[in-house]
Amino acid sequence: MIFLDVTKAAEGRHASGLQRVSQQLRATLGPAATPVRWHPGSGSFCSATGAEPGAGDWLLTPEVFAPEERPGFAAWLARRPCRCAAVYHDAIPLRLPHVTWPRSVARHPAYLRCLAELDAVWAVSAASRDELEGYWRWAGVERPPPVAVLPLGADFDGSPRAPAGVPEDPPRLLCVGILEPRKQQTLLVEAAERLWAEGRRFELHLAGRINPHFGAPVRARIAAATRSRRGALQFHESPGDAILRPLLDGAAATLFPSLAEGCGLPVLESLWRGVPCLASDLPAHREHAAGGGCRLFPPGDIDAWTAGLRGFLDDPAGTADLRRAAASRSLPTWAEAAAGLQAELAAWRGR
């Protein structure tokens, strides 16, 4: 039996990437996985009916946590009654601490040390796997668990694969992600203002919640540009899938100028809807771009991004080819991710 740790996911109010992974694994594993939460009182993981993992079971956690956030967890892990595995996302809090929530920065070293004590880990990309293994080498971990790659699903809302459609006029460019410096929405606004000044017609739509620690300046920059552009720039705060789907389906492209990503799941979700992606040249994005439907530009380079957007808008034939590639390429599904994970857990033989 697989016991799926949903301690944070059960209480989460934000549609983050971590929430998406937890929700989709819970849905696609179905009866094969029992949701459990950490209960400090009993010092164990328990389901709604009181079931706890035991000998022969797996405890699978896709969450990010530190032992001090779960009183008694370190003792449970030391005497654990079952095998333990995790889905690993990234070490962005350690790589970009100046633009990451302080609490996330504080918890991450202990979290990575906890992962080294588990029986198996699945990383959300090859880049993420290499990052984790590199950190363990740097930290002197002598016997780390094996780390495999779990391709995440592109079918974010249960919808069927979308064919290459016809984008709206004027072209809509859509950026999905939390408003914060790492996601680089201000770079997109500046590039868009340059292109609007040159006379190009297009809309820039930004969609996401606002980072409470670092998002206010980004939101202020967007608000100032919105006032001067009268509809050409629009911000959609904390949109659900019901709002995101029509935004995606009418878009000419999605934009992901982030400075760092563990997986870049929204890139896959855009491609699933047949919408091509213009993204930062990051290791995780390169993995997605290899299948087609993407163009990559240097992260943080405003001139390169302006030129890239200009080239995309000025080349209808190339844009159509990119859309066809996005709609026809092979993409993983959440059902495949769950089935592969379940099979590997069942076949696991240890280190």
Write the CA distances from 149 to 17, 207, 344, integer angstroms. 17, 29, 11
Q: Which of 266, 211, 209, 204 is nearest to 229 (CA)?
A: 204
* 228: number of Cβ within 10 Å: 10
2-153+333-347 and 172-328 agree in CATH topology: yes
Q: Which is more confident, 253 or 16?
A: 253
Is 60 exceeded by the pLDDT of residue 177?
yes
Per-residue confidence band for 15, with pLDDT thresholds at 50, 70 and 90: low
* DSSP reduced 3-state for 179: strand
Indicate the pairing of strand 120-123 with strand 147-149. Answer: parallel
Encode pLDDT of 310-321 as tens digits.
999 999 999 999
Per-residue confidence band for 172, with pLDDT thresholds at 50, 70 and 90: very high
Round to whole Å and give the CA distance between 262 and 89: 6
* DSSP reduced 3-state for 59: strand
Q: Which of 323, 228, 305, 222 is nearest to 259 (CA)?
A: 305
Is 70 exceeded by the pLDDT of residue 250?
yes
pTM for the model stands at: 0.94
Domain extents for the chain?
2-153+333-347, 172-328
Encode pLDDT of 113-163 as tens digits.
999 999 999 999 999 999 999 999 999 999 999 999 999 999 987 788 877
* Domain covering 172-328 assigned CATH 3.40.50.2000 in the classification: yes
Confidence at residue 10, expressed as pLDDT on a 0 to 100 scale: 66
Per-residue confidence band for 18, with pLDDT thresholds at 50, 70 and 90: confident
Determine the average pLDDT of the residues in 322-326. 94
Encode pLDDT of 328-343 as tens digits.
999 999 999 999 999 9
* 233: number of Cβ within 10 Å: 22
Encode pLDDT of 69-104 as tens digits.
899 999 999 999 999 999 999 999 999 999 998 889
Q: Which of 193, 256, 262 is nearest to 229 (CA)?
A: 193
Give domain 2-153+333-347's CATH superfamily: Glycogen Phosphorylase B; (3.40.50.2000)
Amino acid at 163: P
**Neighbouring-strand partners of residue 236:** 207
Per-residue confidence band for 12, with pLDDT thresholds at 50, 70 and 90: low
Encode pLDDT of 189-234 as tens digits.
999 999 999 999 999 999 999 999 999 999 999 999 999 887 899 9
